[in-house]
Amino acid sequence: MSRRQLTCQVVLLALAAAPLAAQVTDPSLLTVDRIFKDESLAPAPFPRFVWAADGKSYFVFEPREGSKGGDLVKVDPVSLAKVIVVKREQLVPTGDTVPLQPTRFTFSADGRRLLIFTNTARVWRLNTRGDYWVLDLATSALRKLGGDSATSQSLMFAKFAPQGDRVAYVRSNNLYVENLSDHRITALTRDGSVTTINGTFDWVYEEEFDDRDGFRWSPDGSRIAYWQLDASGVRDFLLINDTDSLYSFTKPVQYPKAGTTNSAVRIGTVSAAGGDTRWMQVPGDPRNVYVARMEWAANSTQMVMQHLNRLQNTLTVLIGSALTGIVQPILVEKDSAWVDVVNDWTWFDHGRRFLWISDRDGWRHAYSVSRDGNDVKLLTPGAYDIANVVGIDSIGGSLYFRASPDNATQRYLFRVPLTGGVATRLSPASQPGTHHYTASPDSRYAVHVHSSLTRPPVAELIKLPSHAVVRTLSENTELRARVAALKRGATRFVRVDAGNGTTLDGVVMYPADFDSTMPIRCCSMCTVSRPARRRLTTGSRSICGT
């Protein structure tokens, strides 16, 4: 298990029975300090790779010994046959000697070009600004995007058109399309400023909805749909910076307090060749609603949007016409408290249905919804919540998800038909604990990471739906040996009554030399044994003297 998992699972610790000095100096003992600070208890990272779009192979950077950078290699997940797709030398810009260090990379749909994101900079929480380069795999031509007027680290969210012949990106709150044959740049918006935000978001949308990338190519590459926010009238909140200079200074951040002016939101579509924007006729005051999610609705003429009131207790799914701007509601979710936005709403059945996650029946379940919203079919019935969607096998007609139907401390992978039926558990019964999965695009393979309270994580590449292991990615052999050498006492899973019919799962981990007959510290934050508690109630003194 990771240090984070260990920390989350250790709810109650009975460490007081062992002398504090022994806990600090004895490497065989597990202490709270070691949980947070001891790097030797951290699991070894397993190789990171990027799945190919067809799910039949994956890509990984393999470093060259004695030199900076490496080669981008395509790997068959079963045979492990490797093909070098991009050599290190191809990533060296003209006039330089050091290859680019990609943070992320994307292949065009036709496989002819590689889009590279590098030299990144943070925006709020994540590094979403940086430099983008395109490598032509046939000619080895490597070119930086943005043109001569683009400064370093100024491009955001660049992505290929579906045809692979153009790239769209955001710069200075405006949208641009760059033609890769002649690198002609077309501005799709020109009004971007501090308060007019095109193709990305203000602080509120990132904070409330985890929104950053604010535009989408249509499937046929003819149009781009995007968010525009008008932040004028939103007052500044002054943050104090005490660390970046000798004297403190303030940094203004546009931040609407409760009940004050919010950014106005609207969704538009524009031709990828430039021209006027067609704005969607989203209902409500644009400063008192949110459009938290937007995608093309499995075609190039309609968009689907998640529309929320400002209280966030009513969510309406809207279908909008890219040609007329007319929208219509197809699904409504309501709650007396709030409604969560849905990230897993993949289209399937050739665009006739989409996946939807809702707790409308009191449990967080997956639903199959028809395009017009009239047919809503429950896929995961039962008295349990699904934790997350792992993937959809549209060809095999299956939904993969994780859940804890019987025990909240155990999490497993399940499979259910997209037409409805009985969910089948795929995680091995011989492996209790927590199972994480990252599926390939076609859900034929997945990276499976299993851990438990006493078992460090093991990463495997598996086949779906059989769960057969293709190969082990990381066994964490050294960490397992270190954990096995720890002196450990009894471990007990408990359930704590939190009131109002709610129980919480916890773990009590006792020190290796714990003696339940001895009194221990009895301050308000301490735990005492039953014999000690009886002595305390009859007037005897505790170890700490209270």
The two tokens of residue 160 are 């290929």
pLDDT, residue 1, reads 40
Pairing state between β 445-451 and 434-439: antiparallel
Cα–Cα distance between 225 and 285 in angstroms, integer? 21
Q: For 72-76, 189-193, 288-292, 477-481, which range has the lowest pLDDT when averaged over its residues?
A: 477-481
Task: Give 150-160 pLDDT, tens digit per residue.
Answer: 999 999 999 99
Neighbours of 224 (CB within 10 A): 23
Confidence of residue 509 (pLDDT cuts 50, 70, 90): confident
Instruction: Write down the mean pLDDT value for the chain.
Output: 90
Tell how far CA 533 is from the center of its chain: 47
Position 133 confidence tier, pLDDT thresholds 50, 70, 90: very high
520: confidence class by pLDDT, cuts 50, 70, 90: low
Query: 528 pLDDT exceeds 90?
Result: no
- Is 303 exposed, middle or buried (CB count within 10 Å of its CB: 0-12, 13-18, 19+)? buried
Query: What are the pLDDT digits (tens) for 230-263?
Result: 999 999 999 999 999 999 999 999 999 999 999 9
pLDDT at 489 over 90: no
pLDDT above 50: residue 5: no
Give dist(CA 279, CA 402) in Å, integer: 38
The pLDDT value given to residue 65: 85
Does pLDDT of 28 surpass 90?
no
Statement: residue 17 has pLDDT above 80? no
Is 19's pLDDT higher than 60? no
Q: What is the pLDDT of residue 24?
A: 47
- DSSP assigned state of 261: P
Structure confidence at residue 181 as a pLDDT band (50, 70, 90): very high
Instruction: Calculate mean pLDDT across residues 161-167.
Output: 97
Using CA atoms, how far residue 143 sits from 59, 137, 146, in Å, is: 22, 12, 10
How far, in Å, CA of 349 to CA of 399, rounded? Answer: 13
Q: To 5 degrees, how large is the angle CA 412–CA 457–CA 78?
A: 80
